[in-house]
Amino acid sequence: MAAGYNTISLGTGRKEFNPRTERPGLEHYLKEAGQGVLKQLGGAEHVDESAVGNFMSARFNKQAHLGAFVPMIDKGLRYKPSISVEGACASGGLALMTGIKSVLAGTADSVLCIGVEVQNTVKAIYGADILAGAGWFSKRKAGHAYFFPGQFSDRAGAYYSEFGRENARKGFARWFRNAIENARLCPTAQEHHNTTADLEALALTEPNPRSFTDHLNVFDCSKVSDGASGIAVLSDEGLKRAGIAYQDAVEIVGWGHAVDDITEDPPQATVLTTMQEAIRQALSAAEITIEQLATIELHDCFTIAGILAVEALGFAPHGKGADFVAAGNTARDGRIPMNTTGGLIGWGHPTGGTGVHMAVTIWEQLTGKAGLNQIAVDPSRPYGMTINMGGDDKTVVAIVYKKAE
């Protein structure tokens, strides 16, 4: 992969966001992200196919058929294959997998992958109903008004009961602090302008079941975001055609794609079992261990999801993920830096775009293009990983990367 590009993740928290004024639509974000990638590739002539990851534009924007918007990005893309893919919040990851499989199949040497979502078109309570489509909608009436916050609040409640509430909340608060501190260094992040002095104290605000959920507050949640990210998946020939040097690309060395039954409840509320399997597949394919990872972008749609993902990776035993995070191990200067541009809580969560944004961040980090967000990459740990989850642990895409040589 190479030639990554992110638009601003726009929503509450950005100084330029005004809910009373008209804001950019899907076309704007698709065009900006697409043109940002094409500029680095040397033009549309160096793209053979395109894949667009999006979850719910048909409801948020009353617009489907996003693959056919790709020629709008550049007339040089007219008549070239383009497809849109959907897998709830993992739609961006599925766009990347579509590009990977096209290159491996030999149908393309260069695939433009874009993830996009525009969600600030409805009030949050109505958006919660739209986003409930990432789960089994037959359960909607029995679920919380804020459906997915309710689902992960239940996971948090189970975690409190099993492992203790006080330590868990401290871990959640440190996760939030890390997210905002990283976002402050990233100009495109939704929380870039956040100036709160004591982030952990804010994050420890007691949940209010009357206004939100039983076990999570609003700071435990990812953002309602508008934005897009783009990156190119390339063969060696595709790199050569675009004039991109190996040192400016990352090699895809392994991946996992796991899916579970959307009609069933999680087998264990305090374990992300599908994520565990996707991670196992990816690490096995790459033939590495977690100790060889320099940085990870994971799907923190909620703070509890971040904690459970740390355990799914194996960095902490079951029930000890909150302690691992609270100790600073996942901070940008910690043992294993995670979500270095803020993740879903700090950078934002334009749902279908998130998986591509993760890939762009790993590409930036491993090639030294992350600007103020740059971390030191130990040559003995040269790998990065993205973990993009759709729904309540139902579709998960995990990809392992290494700086190309």
- What is the per-residue pLDDT across 340-350, written as a single tens digit (0 to 9) for each? 999 999 999 99
Query: 147-163 vs 124-131: helix axis angle to the nearest 10?
Result: 80
Structural domains of the chain sorted by starting position, each given as residue range(s) with its CATH number in brackets: 2-122+224-247 (3.40.47.10), 143-220+252-403 (3.40.47.10)
Mean pLDDT, rounded, for 344-370:
98
Q: Is the pLDDT of residue 218 over 90?
A: yes
* pLDDT tier for residue 81 given thresholds of 50, 70 and 90: very high
Q: What average pLDDT does the structure give for the chain? A: 97
Q: Is the pLDDT of residue 141 over 90?
A: no
Report which of 178, 173, 176 is spatially closest to residue 206, judged by C-alpha positions.
173
Give this prediction's pTM.
0.98
Calpha distance 166→266 (Å, rounded): 24
Q: Is the pLDDT of residue 38 over 90?
A: yes
Q: Is the pLDDT of residue 380 over 90?
A: yes
Mean pLDDT, rounded, for 175-190:
98
Spatial contact of 393 and 152, defined as CB atoms under 8 Å apart: no
Q: Using one digit for the tens of pLDDT, what is the confidence trace for 253-304?
A: 999 999 999 999 999 999 999 999 999 999 999 999 999 999 999 999 999 9
Lowest mean pLDDT, pick from 18-22, 201-205, 244-248, 327-331: 18-22
Which two structure tokens, joined as six digits, stand for 263? 């009609």
Give the pLDDT confidence score for residue 405 in this predicted structure: 87
- Measure Cα distances from 245 to 4, 240, 248, 403 in Å: 14, 8, 5, 11
Spatial contact of 116 and 36, defined as CB atoms under 8 Å apart: no
Give the pLDDT confidence score for residue 142 in this predicted structure: 85
DSSP H or E stretch at residue 111: strand 110-118
Give the pLDDT confidence score for residue 386 in this predicted structure: 99
Q: Is the pLDDT of residue 143 over 90?
A: no
Give the pLDDT confidence score for residue 379 in this predicted structure: 93
Task: Look up tokens 């726009």; give the residue.
Answer: 10
Q: Is the pLDDT of residue 129 over 90?
A: yes
Give the other-Cβ count within 10 Å of 75's Cβ. 8
* pLDDT tier for residue 368 given thresholds of 50, 70 and 90: very high
Measured over the CA atoms of residue 101, residue 281, residue 379 and residue 300, the dihedral's sign is: positive
Mean pLDDT, rounded, for 44-69:
98
In angstroms, how far is the first alpha carbon of the chain from the final one?
Answer: 13
